[in-house]
């Protein structure tokens, strides 16, 4: 079974802190994704990566950056956390061509920014 | 770019068939349609994917008309454990402005009643 793990289930940070959310997949997938999920808004794509060191912006990249130094690991970085970044963050990975793939999701990290 | 529209919520009694429709009027030629299921405090889980006509697997069927402007997820004989949020997903492609869009619907909350 594909396994996607995220470094924390719950995280509390203060405004202005730098926050790292880590995601690791164990199936040698090329594609990895970061989403945020908010009530009434569904899932929104922040960034995705289709290869090591490659990244593409999604729908809502502002205030975020990402890093993919190794194929299995995709990090989401909040350079200076703000209260409007309080959300559920979901990581996913997939193997096949973009748009046709099955995405495998991690359990999510619920981030609270005070 | 394809936007998706789903009903916000649906109720059904146990043992009934449930049909959830997603509209995606601007679907592109290369787009596939994928449905995911999400339980509280978990990441979404793949249910089924299709391009046209009908697809069936062990848990659901997916009906896509010839114009592909909508799709219907059919869950046969639902049980209490099918209570979840169901998302339809269409494609992932460039928005033409240096970012990519992956259009998840806002989800349909299905409540199965005993």
Q: Rg of chain A's alpha carbons, rounded to an integer? A: 13
pLDDT for A90 beyond 70: yes
Q: How many structural domains comprise chain A?
A: 1
Give the CATH number for residue A82: 2.60.40.10
Question: Given pLDDT bands bounded at 50, 70 and 90, which one contains residue A25?
Answer: very high
Domain of A19, in residue numbers: 4-104
| All structural domains of chain B with their residue ranges | 9-113
Phi-psi region of A21 (alpha: psi -120 to 50; beta: other; left: phi over 0): beta
Question: Given pLDDT bands bounded at 50, 70 and 90, which one contains residue A66?
Answer: very high
Q: Are A111 and A13 in contact (CB under 8 A)?
A: yes
Beta bridge partners of B11: B111
Centroid of chain to Cα B25: 14
Which of B33, B41, B43, B84 to probe the A interface (max A CBs under 10 A)?
B43
**Average pLDDT of the segment spanning A39-48:** 88
Using a CB-CB distance cutoff of 8 angstroms, which residues of chain B are in contact with residue A48? 92, 100, 102
Query: Residue for token digits 């569904």?
Result: A42
**Average pLDDT of the segment spanning A25-38:** 92
Mean pLDDT, chain B, whole residue set: 89
Alpha carbon of A49 to those of A35, A52, B42: distances in Å?
Answer: 12, 7, 22
Contact B100 A56 (CB under 8 A): yes
Contact A99 B93 (CB under 8 A): yes
Q: And the tokens for A67? A: 């890093």
Q: Which of A42-51, A98-107, B54-63 has the lowest mean pLDDT?
A: A98-107
CATH number assigned to the domain covering B9-113? 2.60.40.10
Closest CA to A64 of A108, A21, A11: A21
Closest CA to A24 of A66, A65, A71: A71
- Measured between CA atoms, the residue of chain A closest to residue B102 is A45
Beta bridge partners of B88: B35
Q: What percent of chain B has pLDDT over 70?
A: 89
Of all residues in chain B, what percent are helix, strand and coil, respectively (each to 5)? 5, 55, 45
Gap from B9 CA to chain A (nearest CA, Å): 12
């Amino acid at each position: 079974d594909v396994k996607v793990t995220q470094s924390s289930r719950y995280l509390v940070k203060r405004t202005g802190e730098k926050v790292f959310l880590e995601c690791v997949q164990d199936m040698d997938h090329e594609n990895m994704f970061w989403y945020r999920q908010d009530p009434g808004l569904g899932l929104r794509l922040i960034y995705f990566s289709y290869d090591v060191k490659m990244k593409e912006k999604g729908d809502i990249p502002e205030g975020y950056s990402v890093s993919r130094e190794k194929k299995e690991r995709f990090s989401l970085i909040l350079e200076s956390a703000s209260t409007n970044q309080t959300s559920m963050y979901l990581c996913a990975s997939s193997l096949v061509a973009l748009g046709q793939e099955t995405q495998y999701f991690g359990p999510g990290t619920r981030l609270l920014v005070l | 770019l394809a936007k998706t529209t789903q009903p916000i919520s649906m109720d059904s009694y146990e043992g009934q068939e449930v049909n959830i429709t997603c509209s995606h009027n601007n679907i592109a030629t290369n787009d596939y349609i994928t449905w995911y299921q999400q339980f509280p405090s978990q990441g979404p889980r793949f249910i089924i994917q299709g391009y046209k006509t009908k697809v069936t697997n062990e848990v659901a069927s997916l009906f896509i008309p010839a114009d592909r402007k909508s799709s219907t997820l059919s869950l046969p004989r639902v049980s209490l454990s099918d209570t979840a949020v169901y998302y339809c997903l269409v494609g992932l492609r460039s928005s033409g402005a240096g970012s990519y869009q992956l259009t998840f619907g806002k989800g349909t909350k299905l409540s199965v009643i005993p």
